[in-house]
Amino acid sequence: MEYEGQICRSPMERGSFMLPVSVGCSYNQCYFCMLFKHLTYRELPLEQIEGELQRVKRAGGNPETVFLGDGNAFQLTAGRLLAILELVHRYFPACTTVNMDATVQSILEKMPEELSALARAGVSHLYLGIESGLDDVLTLMHKDHDLAQAYTAIEKLQRAGMVYDAHMMTGVAGRGRGEENARALAQFYNATGPGRIVNFSLFIHRRSPLYRLVQKGRFVPADEAENLAEERILLEELAVPVEYDGFHDVIPVRVRGKLPADREKMLAKLDAALAVQRAAAPLVAVV
């Protein structure tokens, strides 16, 4: 596979075949994200997409799950996506599930009948970067939506028969607001029922727009102890069944499992990590 840029997808998609259908991110304005800043967004030609499907088929590939890349594959028009899905099913007859990243706006832009057609064509999970449960934080991070729009988009995709999965970031609200953000996110998730939650705990790249906010004093990063405490509150308050996976880039802690069954095991792991971080010097994830 020829791939331009950095591969970034949910760990729940590790067994999926990744099929690039675009390069970069159509929005590419979130202040914390540096994954696509060096790329110019563009759609890949259908001929190139079909060539990749042919290559994998010749090699004996026939995956059951396909993940469409890159940063926001759902930005493609419904017609374009349906054409790609037709190719996927032609070359991979075993494929029953097609997942991809989406933005709130890319869902709101599509008509209900288009969403239903995409679901019938195999689109199952859409990963949404909700990131925070606080509107002022979403604004500060230059997200493309507010919470009201997120509620509307999620209701639309669920009515169409798709599942929404959430990307979030402990620490995104800044120092002193971890508990507030955790409770707001738990309220949002309990109301919207994601199938999966992936927490990429915030780290700040020195070339990112967010780092410039830090330099100006408009954002004060939380340390890793507060991020872990925020994660703990979230896991305590989640009342819906959900698969969870949480990463911390600068400390060797990963908490994953299914709620509610694995809650106590996950909380115990966080408690152990918290004890270590609280006994150490404050550590902020700036790279």
> Does one domain contain both 35 and 2?
yes
pLDDT of residue 36: 77
- Cα distance between residue 166 and residue 176, in whole Å: 23
pLDDT of residue 126: 97
Give CA separation, 14 vs 67, 99, 165, 194, 252, in Å. Answer: 10, 12, 15, 19, 20
- Cα distance between residue 68 and residue 87, in whole Å: 12
Choose the weakest-confidence range: 22-36, 57-71, 145-159, 183-197: 22-36
Q: Could you tell me the end-to-end alpha-carbon distance of the chain, in angstroms, rounded to an integer? A: 30
> Does one domain contain both 156 and 54?
yes
Residues 245, 198 contacting (CB under 8 angstroms):
yes
Residue where a domain terminates, one of 128, 151, 166: 166
> Does one domain contain both 207 and 69?
no
Residues 242, 247, 252, 254: what is their CA dihedral angle, to the nearest 10 degrees? 10
What are the tens digits of pLDDT across the range 143-160?
A: 999 999 999 999 999 999
State mean pLDDT over 187-192: 98
Q: Which residue bears the tokens 């994830």?
A: 285
What are the tens digits of pLDDT across the range 71-125?
A: 899 999 999 999 999 999 999 999 999 999 999 999 999 999 999 999 999 999 9
pLDDT of residue 132: 95
> Does one domain contain both 130 and 29?
yes
Residue where a domain terminates, one of 166, 185, 205: 166
pLDDT of residue 131: 92
Residue where a domain terminates, one of 166, 194, 209: 166
Classify residue 57 as exposed, middle or buried by CB count within 10 Å of its CB (0-12, 13-18, 19+): middle
State mean pLDDT over 203-228: 94
CB atoms closer than 10 angstroms to residue 89: 16
pLDDT of residue 286: 63
Closest CA to 175 of 55, 286, 13, 41: 286
pLDDT above 60 for 287: no
State mean pLDDT over 175-192: 98
pTM reported for the whole predicted model: 0.93
> Does one domain contain both 106 and 223?
no
Residue 276: domain span = 169-287
> Does one domain contain both 153 and 44?
yes
pLDDT above 70 for 179: yes
pLDDT above 70 for 211: yes
> Does one domain contain both 9 and 143?
yes
> Does one domain contain both 216 and 195?
yes
Question: What percentage of the chain exceeds 70 in pLDDT?
Answer: 96
Query: What are residue 126's DSSP bridge partners?
Result: 100, 164
> Does one domain contain both 13 and 42?
yes
State mean pLDDT over 200-228: 93
Q: How confident is the model at residue 3 (pLDDT cuts 50, 70, 90)?
A: low
pLDDT of residue 280: 82
> Does one domain contain both 129 and 225?
no
Amino acid at 223: D
Q: How confident is the model at residue 4 (pLDDT cuts 50, 70, 90)?
A: low
> Does one domain contain both 162 and 179?
no
CATH number for position 87: 3.20.20.70
Mean pLDDT of the chain: 93
Total count of domains within the chain: 2
> Does one domain contain both 114 and 229?
no
pLDDT of residue 24: 83
